[in-house]
Chains A and B, each alone.
Chain A
């Protein structure tokens, strides 16, 4: 197995065997985090720039820990204190940083396509850590890894993805990745937050929460953002809570050994009942744990195989 591309921008760039290769590699790296000394010298001498143009706790920390456990030299650029805040263009910022010879950029950006743009103007590897409403490929990989820990195969699993699909980069990546592995995907949420153009037989828009959840093997709940109440997407958070929340009652319809995922941060009792989380029925923290392994694997695969 090998992966020869410089960047990880979109799940659509990965083949089914690429996805499996990333997940298999991550399984090995997961062991490092379980050791007493959580560090290997694999990335010693590599310089990695974390550029987060948008707030992030989980993903940023996860990438940083992954880099440190691989012994890479890590620099975090706080955008609010950088020259971007002084009006420098994105391409000038990248070209200047590129001149400092980093091996990789980790990019989180509020605009869709920003990591792709950056990957075209730098020789360094670029990993998309979430761009606009477009993609979040490492989240998809860690979701797949988490599912594989509980299910032998993803092929023909019924996977429900519920919530704000339209604005969710997690949903876009998950739909693409899980489709490549042969899942049957059911989407549900207010029609204002559903994608309107789907041309794939394995993806269905469910007419109700019940239809989506019924006999589901996996349920991926998405966060609904309060700002969706503006621009008319939903009337109010109360309304969302009343009609689009995953409750214990609805959950009874799912398959007996259903896996519940959520990319976080969770709005408890808005998109999912707090009691479902409290009773240990979700794998949210496994996702976080696997996130580090997946990001270590991504860095290893993208940087390890190349000579700068």
Chain B
């Protein structure tokens, strides 16, 4: 697709904080021209998308995704993960390093990047490991990871328990201008917990995960970022108490960003009432009070990012007891629709969504020429119809795994087109 004209769309650009009707002309994968009403371009070689009544957003970036290749290709491959991303409206995804082997060196990093490039699907950026093997015992070769293309480091899936390792990771990564993403959790306090500790865990007779296990760790990480003046991103925030900590950190002007996931503002621990393993994730689904706190925090602009924490597991792995089933749910194909619910409920504007799901992730990970709609930017665009009704059916899931608590849910709002480096994907 060499030339493309997107006509009549409402262009939502968080870079300039504007939302106006514009035409966008794309050539050779770049945004060439943005103009009020019909750009005088026509010809049989130009593709045209009529985006009348549709919202044209900078390509959505999901900065927190688990692909399972290498190592667990039965759960998800790089290819199926990218297909799921496009189906969900994303132009870019960032994959966490907890594959097998762990992405803690340039060999694994290059393998993932090269494999992704061979498919001509969405953009894939890699997050390398903080510690070798994600074991929390010594630093990974963060310089090598940076130089072989990783855009950040994280031990996601596990916390960096040792505060001194975390401190030095922040400093060492800072040397390479590499953002650090923290899975903040006091893992000893979680213990054998498998869902939120509360009335429901008591009712089900299972071990709970105290909200404090998240909050203690977030507080530590805020303090480390503040003390060492390093930039830090906190992944998957789920509790009301954490929101209070975010408020404190933001008020103090600490260089730290926060992410939440759609499930934390959509459903509660009650989803586990039938021992539903497809509602088991870490951090766990919390209470209605927590859900409301997250929604209000999004409204107040306290969060920087919404990411899916897409965590595929096979049906066999989830088809067991709550205890035995692994943590995690898929999210690439429901993330936008769940977020659009907050648009309909007036918690978020379309501009807010463009910030949370494109501009901020691109800024945090320093993805050049992405995250905004302006001349010269890479033509990554997501065209959204907030009114489209659809049902999330298991047979339509592009992800190799089907572990979602949202199957058969009716959604309002979806991406109709995804344009990646000028290439159109008609959804």
Interface residues of A (CB under 8 A from B): 190-192, 194, 196, 229-236, 238-239, 242-243
Contacts and interface: CB of A to CB of B under 8 A. Distances in A.
B108 interface: no
Interface string B132-167: 100000111111100100000000000000101100
A235 B175 contact: no
8 contacts: A191-B172, A192-B168, A232-B164, A232-B172, A235-B172, A242-B143, A242-B147, A243-B176
Contacts of B142: 235, 239
Contacts of A233: 168
Contact of A238 (B141, B169, B228): B141
Max chain B CB contacts within 10 Å: which of A190, A194, A196, A231?
A: A190
B140 A235 contact: yes
A192 B172 contact: yes
B180 to A, nearest CB: 12
A205 to B, nearest CB: 11
B109 to A, nearest CB: 14
A102 B120 CA distance: 80
Which of B143, B147, B162, B169 counts the most A-chain CB atoms under 10 A from its CB? B143
Contacts of B138: 229-230, 232, 235
| Residue among A191, A192, A231, A232 with most chain B CB within 10 A | A232
Interface of B: 132, 138-144, 147, 162, 164-165, 168-169, 171-172, 174-176, 228
A243 B132 CA distance: 18
A191 B143 contact: no
A232 B141 contact: no
Count chain B CB atoms within 10 A of each CB in A194, A242, A243 and give the residue with the most. A243
Interface centre among A192, A236, A242, A243 (most CB of B within 10 A): A192
A189 to B, nearest CB: 8
B58 to A, nearest CB: 30
A236 to B, nearest CB: 6
Contact of B171 (A192, A229, A235, A236): A192
B139 A232 contact: yes
B164 A231 contact: yes
Nearest to A190: B175
B18 to A, nearest CB: 34
B358 to A, nearest CB: 29
Given A239-B143, A242-B143, A242-B144, A232 B174 contact: no
Contacts of A234: 139, 172
Contacts of B162: 232
By Cβ-Cβ distance, the 3 closest A-B pairs, closest first, are A235-B139, A191-B171, A232-B168
Contacts of B175: 190-192
Contacts of B165: 232
A232 to B, nearest CB: 4
Contacts of B147: 242
A232 B144 contact: no
Contacts of A229: 138
Contacts of A191: 171-172, 174-175
B404 to A, nearest CB: 37
A197 to B, nearest CB: 12
B168 A236 contact: no
A136 B139 CA distance: 30
A231 B176 CA distance: 19
A231 B171 CA distance: 13
A230 to B, nearest CB: 7
Given A232-B168, A232-B169, A242-B143, 16 more contacts: A190-B171, A190-B172, A191-B174, A192-B168, A192-B171, A192-B172, A229-B138, A230-B138, A231-B164, A231-B168, A232-B138, A235-B141, A235-B143, A236-B141, A239-B142, A243-B143
A235 B146 CA distance: 13
Contacts of B168: 192, 231-233
Nearest to A191: B171
Given A190-B175, A191-B175, A192-B171, A239 B164 contact: no
Contacts of A236: 141
Central interface residue in B141, B162, B169, B175, by most chain A CB within 10 Å: B175
B141 A239 contact: yes
Nearest to A233: B168
A190 B144 CA distance: 14
A239 B128 CA distance: 15
B95 to A, nearest CB: 21
Contacts of A239: 141-144
Contacts of A192: 168, 171-172, 175
B110 to A, nearest CB: 15
B120 to A, nearest CB: 32
Nearest to B146: A243
A243 B141 CA distance: 11
A196 B171 CA distance: 10
Contacts of B176: 243
A243 B145 CA distance: 12
Nearest to B165: A232
B421 to A, nearest CB: 31
A234 B172 CA distance: 7
A194 B171 CA distance: 9
A295 B113 CA distance: 57
Contacts of A190: 171-172, 175
A108 to B, nearest CB: 28
A236 B169 CA distance: 13
Contacts of B144: 239, 242
Contacts of B169: 232
A35 B175 CA distance: 49
Contacts of A235: 132, 138-143, 172
B129 to A, nearest CB: 10
A245 to B, nearest CB: 12
Nearest to B139: A235
B223 to A, nearest CB: 15
Among A190, A229, A235, max chain B CB count under 10 A is at A235
A238 B107 CA distance: 14
A169 B91 CA distance: 51
A57 to B, nearest CB: 30
Nearest to A232: B168
B146 to A, nearest CB: 9
